[in-house]
Each structure stands twice: as structure tokens, then as C-alpha cells.
Structure 1
Amino acid sequence: MLLPAVALLAPTLEQRWLYLQTNLLPVASVDRAISILERAAKVGYNGVVLADSKIARLDNVPDGYTVNAKRFCDAARRLKIEVIPSVLGVGWADGMLSHDVNLIEAQPIRGVEYRFQGITARPVPTVKLVNGGLEEANGDKLVGWNLQDGPGVSSFREPSPKGGMAVRMESFVKGNEGGNCRLSQVIDVKPWHQYRMQAWMKTQDLDGSNEVRMMALDSNGKPLLSQDIAAQRTEDWRRVTVVFNSQANAKVRVYWGIWGGRGGKLWWDGLTVEDAGLLNVVRRPGAPLKAAGIGGPLREGVDFEPVSDPLLGKRPWDGEYTFDQDPPLLRRKTSGSIRDSDVVTVDAYHAVTTDQGKSAICPSEPATRRIEERELAEVSRVFGPDGLLLSLDELRVANWCGACAARKSTPGAIFAEEINNQVSMARKASPRARLCFWSDMFDPAHNAVDGYYLSNGTWSGSWKGLPKDALVLNWNHGGRAKSLPFFAGLGLKQVLAGYYDGNVEDIKTWLADAKAVKGVTGVMYTTWTDNYSNIEAFAKAAWGA
């Protein structure tokens, strides 16, 4: 196959890459991936960053996967395209967590009271939502709610098919110029307790479904949760669930509603907030469980049965976490010191996810290091990579569990050390591979900031862990005026991760701006919607292919 002399067209773009998300297990997916590479090679691409969730599970995939991976790599090298697998997705860690579901990053619960009735105990209730059944009202104005947007204008009570009353939301801008339609109230909570919010939800032709949320905010307006209930444009009644940790707060503002709604209808019914207790309790050395009664500390296995949540990280498959299951109960041993009606207090840690099930793995447990070492060894064996993307990006839960807290550090400092460890392991497993990193968690103009989502502390200083020969895949187009010179000032080379399912012509502006700094050596066609129809247009815009 005759390849174009692209280097003559764009001598400054050493890396002309594309980002490919796929699953190499089905033969049809491999066929499609190779056809994309063949198209890319014709216009001068010379590298592919391969993202496949199976990479974190290479020690547990069917034999056909390795055969298909070899076929993919052979095709890439025939086309003079380097293969750069994405590995160690510690912020998108479901694959890594499939090896040990207890390694998920976890928040603490402290002093949670359980009252025994017979041999079992449930949490002593600590929270009350007023009029969550939506039964009490003056016309369409609900009783007990501190905030209701547009009663009788954009929010209306109506009989629920489940019995009782529901609230219908529509004509959002009529009730709120921003298109917000919300129900909210301030509730009393106990600090460092886990709570679960639930409701029944229905939608019809809803424009703005991605902004339907259930939220909990502290007194400063900072979110205590970041889970997405994934509302669809039109769907029948579905029970939706989120959880939050109250942290140090005694009061929390909770919300159900839509932000920036543009059209259609949204219904709510059966709103609840309840004590979640030991839901998704995490059991590992850095997340100890302690219990005490009126006589002092209690012994697990002696005074009460061993505690676990059998559904932790198990639905729909290992490494995925759900929050709608029944929380585990405490069970006393009849031979122990706990008696009927006793109240015991429990300290423990519970799993936390964000978005639509996005999870982070704890960097401080030795077991995590062993999983990372195994993944890197398997990637070397299966792919023989030309490069590795150490995929620390959008890590939204950090530095809560006992293992991390014992370091008395910050997320930034912890992950600077974690990157050092990953680099050492990667160089050992694949000595010739170029090491690459997404930019965001090392960029103070992006996500390397204070209070990032549910991170406990600042991400400042995370960049200190980057090796001097790191290749940064910079996707901060909006903050490029600060981001580009920041990494250039660290002496690091950068690849501009462009396109992002927008206008392919934007890469021209970015490249023009990049001329003001040293070390921008390439570009990458990056799609998150599996859209490879524009790879030729991107190549033309970026290097004139």
C-alpha cells in the first residue's frame, strides 16, 4: 500500500493520531476498527490510542480476544500506525475493580446508631422529609417544601397511577425564566451518615432530559453527590436512586427537578430520603469497620456476625455498583455481649460513584498496585505497545478512605506519587513504550483544582508526578490560553486532542495558538460518540492532507 508523504505536508506534526474506542472481542468490531485504520492511513495518521474496557481484564477474556488483538496490531503496523493502548483507568475503574470490588474509593460513616430488635438491627432513623408523598397542598402549592418553581404555572399536582398524588412539571420557562422546575427543602441530618434519595419518575417528549437531577447540597451550596439518573426523553414510570454522604453537615438541601428545561413533561412521585446505613459497605484494610456498645468496643465475628453487602460491585457485572438494594443488617451472635434492644454505633466506609456509575479505585491500597502491575504485564504481552496512555482523567472521588487519610496528604500529592509508581511499572513492563497522559488532572486551568467534585482536598501539585518525557494529550481547548503555556513551562511535549464531536475546523485555531509555545508536536482526532466520519476532514484541517 502506498502511503502519502504527509511529513512533507506537515513537518511539525510528529503525532497524527486518532482515538479509537472499541471492543476487540467481536470479529465484526475488529473488522470495523481495521477499516477505520485503513482510511486513516490514507490521509496520514500514524498512531491510534486504543480504548477497550477489556484491557483491564486481559487475564480473564476469551482466547479469541488475544487473536483479534494481534490481528488489529498487525494491521496497524502494516499501515505504519503506532498502537497506544489506554491503561490504568483509575478514574473510570470498573474494569480494574472487577478484580476486587472492595478497592473502590469510599467515604466514611461515623457514629451510625443501630438498634437491635431480636437478633437483627437497622439504623436508627435520623432524617425526615416533609410531605414526600406530595399529599398536602393548597391547590398546586405543596406544603412543607421550601422551594417549588411555578406552582400552578409549571408544576401541578395530579392523581398518581400508583395511588395518592404526583407532581407534573411542564412549560418550564413560564414558571422560571431559566427553565428550572424544582422541588426542594432543607432537611436535618447527622454528620457523616450515608443517605439514600429515591423517587418515581416519568418523562414525555422531554427536551433537556440530561438536566433532570436529584441533588443534595451543603450549606455553602457544594454538591454532596454527583450521580446522574439518566432520564430519557420519553420513558414510563421508573424508580430512580442516588446516595450522598452528609460529611460534616447537620443540614442539607435536597432537590428533585430539571434545570434549563425547554419542553415536554416530567413527573415525580413518592419522594423519599432515608438512612442508608451500611449500603455498599467496603471491606478492606484501609476501610475498617468498628462497632461499640454501652460497654465499649464490640468484636466482629464474636459479638456480631461478619458484615458485608453481597451486592457490592456485582450488578450487572463485577466492577459495577448499584444503590437500590436493601442495605445489610447487623446480626448479633447469641453467644456475644449484645442483647435485644441494645443500641450500637458503627464506623465504616461506603462505596461512592459519580455520573452514571463512574468509579475510582483507591491508590493507597497495596492490592491496587498488584492489579496495575498485572494489567501492564498483560498489555505488554497482548499488544507489544508502541506507547501507553496512563489514563488518569476526570477522577472525581479521592482521598476519603482510611488508607488515603493515613497519608495526611492531598489528592494532588497522592496522585503525583501514584503516577511515579505507574511510570516505574510501565517502564518495566514495556521499556520502549512512550508514556502519555490526559491533561486535565494535571492542569490548574482545568481539573487540577481545589474541591473537584467529591475530591477531599486540592489537586494542586499533581503535575509534579509527570516524567520529563511525558507526552500530554491536552484536551483543554476552552482554556488553551493558560493550559498550553503551563505544560510548555514544565518542559513537556503536547498533543492537541481535537474535534470532540464539534467543528473539525477548530483544530486550525488551536494549532495557530499553539505556535506561541514550544513543544506542541501533534494532534489527535478524538470522538466520544463513535463518529469516525470526519477523520479525513480533520486531517485536511490539521495538516492539509
Structure 2
Amino acid sequence: MKKLLLSMTLFAVTLSFAAEYEDCWFYASRSLNNDQHVVELKELLETAAKSHYNGMLLACGLDTYGKWDAARKARLAEVKRLCDANKIELIPIIWSIGYGTMLGYDRNLVAGLPCIDVPYVVKGDTATIVQEEIAPLPNGNFEEYEGHAFKINGWIDAPGKRSFVDTDVKAEGKASIRLENFAEDKHGHARVCMLVKLKKNRQYMVSCKIKTEDFVGSNSVKIQLYTLKGDSYCAYEPAIEPTQDWKEYKTYFSSGDKEESRLYLGTWGAKAGKVWIDDVKLEEMGVTNIIRRPGCPLTVKVADSDRVLVEGQDYEPVPAAKQLLPANPEPPLVLKLTPAANLKDDTKLLISYYHPVRYGRWQFTTCMSEQKVYDLFRQSAREIKEAINPKKWFLSMDEIRAGGTCAACVARNTDMAHILADCIIKQRQFIKEVAPDATIYIWSDMLDPAHNARASYASCKGSFEGVWNMIPKDIVISCWYHLKRDISMPFFENLGFKTQGAAYYDVDTLDTSREWLETCNKTKNCTGIMYTSWRNKYKLLADFGNMVHENQKPLK
């Protein structure tokens, strides 16, 4: 009888152990540039340790660990010690192509979009841009209206209900557009849409002036460009204060192969208050914001001839832009010619070059076709291994919104799916070189046909379709799109991948997290779930861990 009871007890213990997920993580982002970050992480780790967590996914800029000073490295060592003391595994999240990995070493590794045959004219020993006429935006200053309806080539949300003519508050002229009553629309939409005419392969700047009063809606004011098919290829989120006086905002974009686009300005997800917009302008930029790297060549040719000028021989070397899309753009390039150029006045030149594209407020994408990026990845893997010796590594390969457009990408004669897969395979290789037994995780969206793995994604040229069949099956896919969780998790499961659920995302309850756990519980070979906060909201950290502990039912 005692043997039977002992066997039953051991069996129950085994079942209990088997019923726990391998991963119960939380996400934290701290640069470790000051001691307070260590204090904050210590508090989170202590809470997590009491709430059944076993891992912390830490974003701290480890990509450029080789550039860190001694104090920052010491803080990381202390965080590693705190993790070990609390029995919380430290997992580094690294190498975000979509958010500019390795640009800290060389900003010219940014993805480049082409401007082709920008006209210049020779005068003496210089060549300057030929200012081509561009039609002003019809009624971009909101001066023409009837009632609360503005006369534009496009449309405006809910005139007289959420959008209004305001002749009392304006940046200039006699009127502006006022947006309010956002709660009347379930999406918080109050937008202006204008059809704009463009020239192919040119760089443009959109500017406008914005004023607010008691505005509620974090990151909900946007300036966006859409193709006529409805695909977004430029999205800028200006830094808006709840109440501010008139302030000018600027963003930049490349027309690519488009001769028309839809320009959107206004709110998405706004809650309350008022927003005024005035003085909307569209301007061609000329040759500026120049990227200089092998895959982004600068070409100067003489119009109506086969002659291509040689840099350093026919004209002085052209430097790269000092910043990636500064608030106030550098003036167009003035090309300084040498006597060897031997060009007469009024000779027409055509300049082709590459420039970066920004998404959101500060997102820049790194090029996946430049060899220097991979040299830096290999170096980074060695440094991370030496610094914290992780057993699990996380590839931050989400939201890759530019690529396939520079000369280095085009020369590969393939699509974005193969370019991305090749990058991931190499990242895995570099990790396995220093940590052969490492488990590697990756964000799901760029591999998921229900999410971002598709054609016509942002400013990318080519399709990501099929990439899910090209990457090694030993990489764990961390799915994060809540509304698609019951499509995405089975999709990767059926392909033979292990999965993970990235839940929470800064809401005020655990309702969506419970839904995520239900999906995890019915997905075979799911490694677990993560408390994922982008806004440092950790009020529910303990409750989330306890909820997972009490309701987890891993399906093997």
C-alpha cells in the first residue's frame, strides 16, 4: 500500500511538473545608461520571482555592447547577478532590422530608397538643382470652404460633426480646420485626405502646423501617405503635447513608382480635446539626406550623353548626410566641379542617389543586403556571449518597413522573402557559432501571412510571402497579434515550429491575456507566454504571473 501511495505521489508530482510551461517571461526595456535602471529592474525581478516567472526578455541596446563604457557594462553585470539571484533567466533581445540595428556603428547602413535623374545645371565650377515646378496642394491652407465643408481634392471625416471650419483660431490666413468630438467615432477618426500629384523616384517633404487643446490620444495624430490601392508607405507620428500653440511638423517620403498618392492628416484613436491643422504643404526636396555606402551609389551623369562623372576626379567627394532625416533638412547638394570635368555653363546633369525613410516618429530600417551588417552581427554575438552567456536569444525581427530598393538589394535579383530568410539564417548561424545549444526565438509578424508577411508592405519592394517555409524549424515563433492569435499559433504549429504567446500590451485588465493563455493551452509545443509591456506598465505583472500559474495547461 505504501508503495502504491508513493507511486501515486510521484506520478502526481510528475504531472504537476509537466503542467508548467517552459517559459513564463516578462519584457523590460532599459538602456542601463544610469543606475536608476538597475534599481527599477531589481524591483521587477523581485516581483516576478514571487509570481512564478522564470525569464526576463531585456531590451537594453546589446547590439552595440562593444561601444558601451565601463559603467554601463557594470550595470549589465549587476542585472545578470540579480537575475541569477532571483532564478530568472536573462534573455537578450537583439538585432532589430526594422528598428535600425547597427546604425549606432554606421548610420549609412540604413535602408535606402532611390531618387533617379534629379536635374542639375552647371554654372562655373558648381552645379545646382534645377527647381522644377510643383503644383501647390489645392486648398492646403484651408481658405476655401462652404459651411463646414472644405473644397479639397479628396474628403474630410464628418464635416460639422468631427471636423469644422475655424475662422478664429488659425496659423495664418483666414481659417484652419478644427478636429474634435472624437468619441463619436469608434475608431477616434477625424482626418483630412488629399489626392496629391507626384513625380516618380523623387524625395518629398510634407509639412503642416498643428495646435492642440486638452487633447487625449497618445500617438494618435499622424501624417500618412497611402497608395491608390490603400497600402500605407509612409506614416509619421509627430510629438504632440496635450495643449500646445501652433507648431510646424515635417516628414519626408519617396514617391518610388507612384505618380499619385493619398495624403492623410488627422487622428486615429483620439479620445478627447481639440486639434487644429493649417498650412499643409508638399515640397520636392532635391538631392539631400544622402546615404553613402556600397549598396547606395551616387551617380552623376551628363544628360543626353553616355558620360558618367567620376567622384574625386570630376567633382569633389560628396559626404553622407550628417543626420538621418533631421528636423530641418539640409539644403540641396551643391556639386563642386573640378577642372577635369571640363563642362560648359548650362550643361545639364542628372544625379541619382539614395535616401532613408522614417516610419512613425523615429523608426529607421537597416539594410539586409550590406555585408558590414553581418560582420557586426558576428562581432555582437561574441560580445553578448562573453557578457551574459545566455542560453536563450531573441531576434527582434519585427516590422521591417523598408528594403529591396537599394542597389545591393536589387543586385540579388530576389524578393523580400528570400532576403529576410537569408538574414535570419545568418543570425542563427552567428549565435550557434558561440552557443551551439542556444534556443533562439523570433517575433512572428514578418513570418506570418496573417500579419506582415505579404506583398506591398510599407516601403518594401517585393513580397515576404513564403518566408515561413525558408527558415529553420528550431526557431521558436513568438506570436503577438492578439486578434489573429487563433490563426497564427496553429499556422506555425502545423509548419512544425514551437511557439510562444506574447500577451498583455499595456491594457488595463487581464482579459486579453486570459484569451492568449487559452490559445496557448490548445497549441501543441507552445513554450509558454510573456507579459509584454511597451509603456512600462507593470501594475498587473504579479497578477499575470499568478493567472498563468493557476491556469496553464501545456499541450504536448
TM-score by length of 2: 0.88
Alignment counterpart, residue 32 of structure 1, candidates 33, 36, 40: 40
Aligned partner of 1:192 in structure 2 is 201
CA RMSD of aligned residues (A): 2.8
411-420 vs 265-274, greater mean Cα deviation: 265-274
Counterpart of 2:438 (choices 430, 433, 439) is: 433
| Map of 1:478 onto structure 2 | 483
Instruction: Report matched runs for 1:20-419 at 5 Å.
Output: 20-53=28-61, 55-93=62-100, 95-116=101-122, 119-131=126-138, 134=141, 136-137=143-144, 145-148=153-156, 154-158=163-167, 163-171=172-180, 180-208=189-217, 210-259=219-268, 263-294=272-303, 295=305, 296-313=307-324, 321-322=325-326, 324-335=328-339, 336-419=341-424
Q: Are residues 260 and 355 of structure 1, via their aligned partners in 2, closer, same or farther at CA, if it must alter by over 3 Å? A: closer
Q: Indicate conservation of the 8 Å contact 1:160/1:269, yes or no.
A: no
Alignment partner of 1:18 is 2:26? yes
What is the DSSP-based 3-state SS (H/G/I as helix, E as strand, rest coil) of the residue aligned with 2:98? Answer: coil
Q: Which amino acid aligns with 1:301?
A: G
Deviations along 1:403-430, whole A, 9 cap, x unmatched?
Answer: 1111121211111111111111011123
What amino acid is the match of 1:156? V
Structure 2 distance, partners of 1:31, 1:175, is 43
Alpha-carbon distance in structure 2 between the residues aligned to 1:64 and 1:309: 32
- In structure 2, what is the Cα distance between the partners aligned to 1:241 and 1:168? 18
2:524 alignment partner AA: K
C-alpha displacement of 1:482: 1.5
Q: Which runs of 5+ in 1 are unaligned?
A: 314-320
Q: How many residues align?
A: 532
- Point out where structure 2 has 5 or more consecutive residues left out of the alignment: 1-12, 552-556
* Pair 1:301–1:173, CA change in 2 (3 A): same
Distance (whole Å) between structure 1 residues aligned to residue 145 and residue 479 of structure 2: 54
Report if aligned partners of 2:27, 2:531 keep a CA contact under 8 Å in 1: yes
Amino acid at match of 1:439: S
Give the TM-score normalised by the residue count of structure 1. Answer: 0.89
Give the whole-Å Cα distance in 1 for the aligned partners of 2:503 and 2:185: 36
Q: Distance in 1 between matches of 2:114 and 2:97?
A: 20
For the 8 Å contact 2:141–2:279, the answer to whether it is kept is yes
- The alignment partner of 1:495 has SS state of strand
Counterpart of 2:337, as a letter, is: K
Amino acid at match of 1:92: Y
Question: For residue 465 of structure 2, what is the aligned residue in structure 1?
Answer: 460
Cα gap change, 1:148/1:521 in structure 2, threshold over 3 Å: closer, same or farther?
closer
Query: Which among 521, 528, 546 is matched to residue 540 of structure 1?
Result: 546
Partners in 2 of 1:304 and 1:409 — Cα distance? 34
Distance 2:175 2:313 in 1: 48
Identify the residue that residue 316 of structure 1 maps to in structure 2.
none
Structure 2 counterpart of 1:170, which letter? L
Q: 2:534 aligns with which of 528, 537, 544?
A: 528
Distance 1:57 1:347 in 2: 32
Give the C-alpha shift of residue 260 in structure 1: 6.0
Bigger drift between 361-370 and 455-464 goes to 455-464
Task: Measure the CA separation in 1 of the matches of 2:146 and 2:511.
Answer: 54
- The 3 A distance-change label for structure 1 pair 237 and 459 is same
Whichever residue aligns with residue 224 of structure 1, its letter is: Y
Q: Does the 8 A contact of 1:288 with 1:402 survive in 2?
A: yes
Q: Give 1:120 deviation, angstroms.
A: 4.2
Paired residue secondary structure (2:527):
strand
Letter of the aligned partner of 2:313 in structure 1? V
- The Cα of 1:7 is off from its aligned counterpart by 9.0
In structure 2, relative to structure 1, the CA distance for the partners of 1:350 and 1:310 (3 Å cut) is closer
Contact 2:109-2:370 within 8 A present in 1 as well:
yes
Matched-pair contact (CA < 8 Å) for 1:155–1:181 = no
**CA distance in structure 2 between the aligned counterparts of 1:370 and 1:173, rounded to whole angstroms:** 49
The answer on whether the counterparts of 1:19 and 1:527 sit within 8 Å (CA) in structure 2 is yes
8 A Cα contact 2:236 2:360, kept in partner: yes
The farther-off stretch of 269-278 and 167-176 is: 167-176
* Distance change in 2, residues 1:177/1:436 (3 Å): closer
- Relative to 1, partners in 2 of residues 1:340 and 1:413: Cα closer, same or farther, differing over 3 Å? same
- In structure 2, relative to structure 1, the CA distance for the partners of 1:174 and 1:28 (3 Å cut) is closer
Q: Is the 2:291–2:321 Cα contact (8 Å) retained in structure 1?
A: no
Q: How big is the shift at 1:107? A: 0.9
Asked if 1 retains the 8 angstrom alpha-carbon contact of 2:96 and 2:397, the reply is: yes
Paired amino acid for 2:311? E
Contact 2:210/2:277 (8 A) holds in 1? yes
Range 359-368 or range 240-249, more displaced: 240-249
The Cα offsets for residues 62-100 of structure 1, whole Å up to 9 and x where unpaired, read as: 10112111111122122222111111111111x510101
Kept after mapping to 1: 8 A contact 2:139/2:151? no
Could you tell which deviates more after superposition, 344-353 or 427-436?
A: 427-436
In structure 2, what is the equivalent of residue 442 of structure 1?
447
Instruction: Answer whether contact 1:128 1:274 (CA < 8 A) is retained.
Output: no
Percentage of matched positions with identical amino acids? 29
